[in-house]
Structure 1
Amino acid sequence: MKKKLKVLMIDDHPMIIEGYKNTLLGENQKEYQIKIDIASNCDDAYASIVKSSETVPYDMLFVDIKLPPSSDGSITSGEDLAKHAKELLPKSKIIILTMHREDHRIHNILKNINPAGFLIKSDLTSSELLLAFNNILKGKAYYSATVNDHFRKMMTNKFSLDEKNLKILYHLSRGVKTKNLPNYVSLSLSAIEKRKNQIKEMFSIAKADDQMLLEEARKRGFI
């Protein structure tokens, strides 16, 4: 007898959803009877999660990070949805799929959600999606190449930087001036300057300018 699986796919691009569906249903029909629900925004996704928690819980959720926010503004991304899902559906497996590949975003998602699967869309192929799906069903975590690279970077450094420090480095690398960083990082300018100096001291380049700081951060794999 086929094992029944209930899956929620959350993405606002219909062609991407169709690709996921075709991949899973095409290869797993002999072994599984898969029921797939679809949501393209935070409102519909949250409603599906709540309904599932009150009836038959989802076995697996595929969650894109960038989504149209909820109508009341309380849920702004797939990251918020995943947090709700972990609370309402504690036994469900969450797979994050995203185009975001910046180290500070990867770090944040791993820290805040700790998903069973984490796939960067630019890494993704049909065979890798199937591999992730089957590994996660067996209770094994699965991360795509970019996420694994992030782990290796963090492990080869003698220390790690917190989320705000990573954001500071990221936005500096994108050309944002220090005076404008408070618009991107929820800190005062004086707090940002203090953190920059702390990072420079950690890198043993206390008197370096921003360009040297970014060069050192790149060498160490933080950006």
Structure 2
Amino acid sequence: MNHINILMVDDHPIIIEGYQNVLMASKKEDQTLLIDTANNCDMAVTMIQRAAKSQPYDVCFFDISLPGSSDGKYTSGQDLALLARQVLPHAKIVILTMFNESFRIHNIIKEINPDGFLIKSDLTSIELTDAFQQILRFPPYYSSTVTNYLKKVVVSQINIDDINRKILHFLSQGVKTRSLGEYVGLSTSAIEKRKKQLKLLFSVTDGKDETLLKEARDKGFL
């Protein structure tokens, strides 16, 4: 049995209840979901720190707009996500928010690089189900508003950035990701980030490099 420890943080209990009901109703037969919930930053910080010492979370869902912590150190779900990145390095971080402005989306991706990014106005029960399963296996999963924004950004970068073309070229030549730095002069983490962006641009949903290369060839980039 696959036990999945989950933290859900949102200041509206009925929204958390909805998320829980969807995930519990749609989980796979071999999955057991253990869900903790928090309604503010203080509760969430306590749970994150406790999990880091005992049983780490596998997936953390953070709403952005939350009541801040009593010490003023944590003012939003964005701060909580950064904490989780530090003390729960293997946890999948999922952002759920009403914010859909380009600047806020860009800032969240730049600071957190979440494994899932869902705009609440895009969200349906089917999308939450699909997003959860994809985030477990082949992150990231970004909802349509985020994806459309990123496509515009990445397309403009591709037109002026030769490094992404080199990454595609050397991958197509059989060079492994861990060795790409020798050819393009970037760290492995920077290369992985660019590969994630490329997979979003080329609408690769299975997370595979082979699929990315096929789509790049089909669109004339190789």
Structure-1 residue corresponding to 2:82: 83
Equivalent pairs counted in the alignment come to 159
Name the larger-Rg structure.
1
Q: How does 1:208-219 map to 2 (within 5 A)?
A: none
Is residue 2:15 matched to residue 1:22? no
Match of 1:133 in 2: 132
Distance 2:65 2:141 in 1: 21
Aligned equivalents of 2:5, 2:95: Cα separation in 1: 17
TM-score, scaled to structure 1: 0.69
Compared with structure 1, are the counterparts of its residues 72 and 131 closer, same or farther at alpha carbon in structure 2 (3 Å cutoff)? Answer: same
Shift of 1:156: 3.9
How far apart are the structure 2 equivalents of 1:148 and 1:70? 31
Task: Write the deviation string for residues 142-182 of structure 1: whole angstroms up to 9, x where unpaired.
Answer: 000000011122134369xxxxxxxxxxxxxxxxxxxxxxx
Letter in 2 for 1:45: A
**Displacement after TM superposition at 1:29 (Å):** 5.8
Secondary structure class of the residue paired with 2:90: coil
Partner of 1:95: 94
Deviation >6 Å, runs of 4+? none
Secondary structure of residue in 1 paired with 2:72? coil
Quote the residue 2:180 is aligned against: none
Alpha-carbon separation, structure 2, partners of 1:105 and 1:31: 37
> Within 5 Å, which residues of 2 pair with 1:1-223?
2-28=1-27, 30-157=29-156
Change (3 A) 1:158 1:44: closer
Q: Aligned partners of 2:73 and 2:140: how far apart in 1?
A: 29
The percentage of counterpart residues that share the same residue type is: 51
**Aligned CA distance change for structure 1 residues 70 and 30 (closer, same or farther; 3 Å):** same
Q: Note closer, same or farther for the CA distance 1:52–1:158 as it changes in structure 2 (3 Å cut).
A: closer
CA RMSD of aligned residues (A): 1.5
